[in-house]
Structures are given as structure tokens and as C-alpha cells.
Amino acid sequence: MSGAPSTLLVLINRDSGLPGAAPVEHRLRELFAAESLDAELRVVERGEDIAELARAAVGRYAALVVAGGDGSLSAAAGALAGTDMPLGILPLGTFNHFARDLGLPIDLERAIRVLAAGKRRRVDVGEVNGRVFVNNSSVGIYTDVVEDRDRQRRGTGRRKTVAAAIAGFRALARYRRQRLTVSVGGQVWRKRTSLLFVGNNSYRLSFPNLSGRTRLDGGELCLFAVTGHGWRLVRLMLRTLLGHADADADFQRVEGIDGLTIDSDAPSLVVALDGEVATLATPLTYRSRPTALTVIAP
């Protein structure tokens, strides 16, 4: 191959809640052709590793485009962070938090026009024990919700939103707080909490911007620790959804930090990363990686 690559590699995640990979692939071929974009489309089958496919694409394609949700994007970002390979986004997931925070259109036709325009920007990623996240990571009740949600989807085929709602109610009924030690900004907290939330840049707390961030290149992390438990936690969740959460009363929070550690008496903790879960050895060491990822976005 002579000169710089000009072809886009497009990975279509079959497990992103799509109505069917074949119709989506056909529609994408039409839209890429309409914009005169040279694109190689590949459906990612169940069991294939998006991160491995992304690493193999570096240097061989002009850009990697992921058609999927936040979990798929996070896996690709982990492979591309620290390289010059740009990440393009076709938001086909359930929530598409990263795409929305980037200001990308959710409509497929408009999203491909953004790819055709080719404007690039550099954004931060967060990292914990070497694992990259683009939105947030958490320890506590949310990991139970994610694991239960995914079991339901595998076992019953429920839609992600329905399965998540059921899992949330179950988790609230049975969850017990964890005893954790947090070292941040020269301070050490030893606390029992139902949820610790670490965000890549600063998050707002009011509905409908529960996941909203005003910027993705601030070079910082934010930390929220839920202070309530039991029915207080239920009331907190309801208040947050209604836009009445009190950040000072309901959360212990620290913003504008570049790193922190979370430790436990347990040798490992279950950690949520952009809606996926992993078991990581303690202590959990978080850091911001400023402008480590290039994205195609306005």
C-alpha cells in the first residue's frame, strides 16, 4: 500500500441492541456510498474482541469507526488511546452517552456526514489499573445492576432498558454497603458506601443530564461517593431522576483531580467501566490521560 491509508474500517457490534446486523449493514453501505466514503464494513460476531480488532487496524486504515454503544466505544478507545488513529462513532447503542457528550447526532445519516467532514479533536480518557474508560467507572451497587441486567438479556432476551430497571429494583432490595478506603488529593477516607462513581471529567447530576459533561478535555477526574443507603438510597435515586438531587447532602464529591486510589480488604473488586464489568485487583488506581484519544467530531 503506497501513501497514507484512505479506507475507513467500520466495526458493527451485533450485541449493541441492534434490531438486526444485516439490515443495519445494508443501510450503512448505502449511506457511506452516498457520501463517497471508502469504507470496509465488518460485523463483529459474539465472542470477538473489539479491542483486538481495533489494535490490528492501527496504521492500516485512515480511521476506525465503531457502530455500537458505549461499551463497544470504550473497548476501541482502550486500543486507540495514545495513538494517532482517530475513532469515528456511529451511535447505535441504548444510551450513547459518549456520543451525546461529544455533541454528535444520533441520527445515522447525520452521523455519517460528520465522518465525511473529517474534523478531529482530542479528548481525555480515564484509566483504572490499565483499563480505559471514556465515560465513567464505579464500584458498588451499579456493578450488581449491570451483571443482573446482562444475565437477563442472555437468559430471557429482554431489552436492555427493561432488564436494567428490573435489575435496579433487585439490587436495591439486597445490596449491602462496602467498606472502602479512598486516597484522593492528599486525604484518606475510610467509609462504608453503596456506590463510588469516578467520571472522566466533571458530571452534572440533574435529569435529563444525569450523564452530561460540559467538556471532555479538562484533563481531570471527578469522584462521587453516595452517603445514603437502604431506603435513603432509594429516595436519592428518585430525587436524582426527578432533578432534585442535592450534590452536597447526598454525595461526598471531589472534582478537578488527576488521580485517586480505592482500596479494600478484599483482594479484588468488581468494577463497572462504561456499562461493562470487570474484576480488578486492589488497590484500584485511577488516573486521567489528557487528550489521549483522537475522535472524529465537530
For residue 145, give the nearest of 223, 78, 253, 233 by alpha carbon. Answer: 233
For residue 188, give the nearest of 275, 138, 254, 243 by alpha carbon. Answer: 254
Highest mean pLDDT among 1-10, 11-20, 146-155 belongs to 1-10
pTM value is: 0.83
For residue 195, give the nearest of 245, 138, 236, 240 by alpha carbon. Answer: 138
For residue 67, give the nearest of 118, 17, 116, 103 by alpha carbon. Answer: 17
Tell me the per-residue pLDDT of 20-36, one tens digit each, with 9 for 90 and over. Answer: 556 888 999 999 999 99
Highest mean pLDDT among 83-87, 89-93, 196-200 belongs to 83-87
124: amino acid identity, one letter:
D
Tell me the per-residue pLDDT of 231-266, one tens digit each, with 9 for 90 and over. Answer: 556 555 555 544 455 555 566 789 999 999 999 999
Instruction: Using the structure block, give the residue that is written with the C-alpha cell 474484576.
Output: 279
Domains, in order of start, for the chain: 8-118 (3.40.50.10330), 132-290 (2.60.200.40)
Per-residue pLDDT, averaged over 73-81, amounts to: 97
- Determine the Cα–Cα distance for residues 166 and 151; give it in Å rounded to an integer: 12
For residue 185, give the nearest of 138, 253, 254, 246 by alpha carbon. Answer: 254
Q: Are 189 and 226 contacting, i.e. CB atoms less than 8 angstroms apart?
A: no
Tell me the per-residue pLDDT of 160-216, one tens digit each, with 9 for 90 and over. Answer: 666 666 656 665 556 666 789 999 988 998 888 778 889 999 987 654 344 578 899
- The bridge status of strand 136-140 relative to strand 131-133 is unpaired
For residue 61, give the nearest of 98, 88, 34, 35 by alpha carbon. Answer: 88
Paired strand residues for 181: 190, 263
| 155 Cβ neighbours under 8 A, 6+ residues apart | none
Q: Are 180 and 261 contacting, i.e. CB atoms less than 8 angstroms apart?
A: no
- Determine the Cα–Cα distance for residues 179 and 189; give it in Å rounded to an integer: 10
